[in-house]
Chain A
Amino acid sequence: MASATGGGRWERVRKGMRPRIREVRRSMFLLRRSPLAIVGMVLILFVVIIAVLAPVLAPPLPERLQPDPSINRMDLQSPKPPGSNYTFQYLGTDGQLRSATISYPFGTGESGEDIYYGVIWGARTSLMIAITIVGIAALIGLILGSIAGYYGGVIDEALMRVTDVFLSIPSIILALAIVAVLTRSLDNIVLAMIVAWWPAYARLVRGQVLSIKESAYVESARAIGARGWRIIFRHIMPNSISPMLVAVTMDMGMVVLAAAGLSFIGFSQPGVCEWGRMISAGSELIFSQVLYEGQVYNPYWAWVFPGAFIFTFVMGFNLLGDGLRDLLDPRTRR
Chain B
Amino acid sequence: MDDSALIEARGLRKHFPMREGLLRRQTSWVRAVDGVDLCIRRGETVGLVGESGCGKTTVARCLLHLIRPTAGHVYYRMPGEVRRRMKELEHDLEGHEEAEKASGGHGPVAAEMASISERYSLEAMSARQLRVQRRNMQMVFQDPYASLNPRMLVKDLVGEPLLVHGMARGEDLDARVVELMEMVGLSADHMYRYPHEFSGGQRQRIGIARALSLRPELVVLDEPTSALDVSVQAQILNMLNELQSELHLTYLFISHDLSTVRYMSDRVHVMYLGKIVESATAAQLFEAPLHPYTRGLISSIPVPDPSRRRGKVPLAGEMPSPSDPPRGCRFHTRCKHRMPRCEIEEPPLIEVARDHFLACHLPNGTDDHGA
Contact = CB atoms under 8 A, between A and B. Distances in A.
Nearest to A2: B188
A181 interface: no
B246 interface: no
A12 B149 contact: no
Contacts of B31: none
A16 B157 CA distance: 13
Q: How large is the interface on B (under 10, 10 to 19, 20 to 34, 35 or more residues)?
A: 35 or more
A220 B134 CA distance: 11
Contacts of A1: 178, 182, 188
A5 B178 contact: yes
A24 interface: no
Q: Give the secondary structure class of A's interface.
A: helix
B293 to A, nearest CB: 29
B164 A220 contact: no
B275 interface: no
Contact of B141 (A3, A219, A230): A219
B191 A4 contact: yes
A334 to B, nearest CB: 5
B165 interface: yes
Contacts of B164: 224-227, 230
Contacts of B133: 225
A16 B153 CA distance: 8
B146 A217 contact: yes
Contacts of A23: 194
Interface stretch (B76-84, B169-177, B311-319, B343-351): B169-177
Given A1-B178, A235-B149, A223 B66 contact: yes
B209 to A, nearest CB: 12
Contacts of A224: 134, 138, 160-161, 164, 210, 214
A227 B131 contact: yes
A225 B131 contact: yes
Contacts of B132: 225
Given A4-B178, A226-B164, A234-B152, A216 B139 contact: no
Contacts of A239: 149-151
Nearest to B137: A223
A263 B161 CA distance: 53
Interface string A12-30: 1001101100010000000
Interface string B111-146: 000000000000000000011111100110111001
Contacts of B135: 225
B174 A5 contact: yes
A217 B147 CA distance: 4
A190 B312 CA distance: 75
A211 interface: no
A334 B196 contact: yes
Interface residues of A, number: 31
Contacts of A80: none
A221 B160 contact: yes
B106 interface: no
Contact of B146 (A9, A16, A215, A235): A215
B194 to A, nearest CB: 6
A238 interface: yes
A221 B214 CA distance: 13
B29 interface: no
B264 interface: no
B167 to A, nearest CB: 11
B219 to A, nearest CB: 11
B143 A216 contact: yes
A9 B172 CA distance: 11
Interface in A1-58: 1, 3-6, 8-9, 12, 15-16, 18-19, 23
Contact of A19 (B138, B139, B193): B193
Given A1-B178, A15-B192, A16-B192, A220 B171 contact: no
A220 B151 contact: no
B64 interface: yes
Contact of B134 (A219, A223, A234): A223
Contacts of A215: 146
A222 interface: yes
A5 B189 contact: no
B57 to A, nearest CB: 10
Interface in A229-246: 230, 234-235, 238-239
Contacts of A227: 131, 164
A216 B138 contact: no
A234 B156 CA distance: 11
A208 to B, nearest CB: 14
Contacts of A222: 66
A9 B164 CA distance: 20
Nearest to B134: A225
Contact of B139 (A223, A226, A235): A223
A221 B143 CA distance: 15
Contacts of B295: none
Contacts of B131: 225-227
Contacts of B143: 216
B155 interface: yes
A140 B311 CA distance: 66
Contact of B171 (A5, A217, A226): A5
B148 interface: yes
B151 A216 contact: no
Nearest to B151: A238
Given A216-B141, A334-B196, 16 more contacts: A4-B178, A5-B188, A12-B174, A16-B155, A216-B143, A217-B146, A220-B141, A224-B134, A224-B138, A224-B210, A225-B135, A225-B161, A225-B165, A227-B131, A234-B149, A239-B151
10 closest cross-chain pairs (CB), A and B: A225-B134, A4-B188, A216-B147, A216-B146, A225-B131, A224-B161, A217-B149, A238-B151, A223-B139, A334-B196
29 contacts: A4-B174, A5-B174, A5-B175, A5-B178, A5-B188, A12-B171, A12-B174, A15-B191, A15-B192, A16-B153, A16-B155, A19-B192, A216-B142, A216-B146, A219-B141, A220-B147, A223-B66, A223-B138, A223-B139, A224-B160, A224-B161, A224-B210, A225-B131, A225-B132, A226-B164, A234-B149, A239-B150, A239-B151, A334-B196
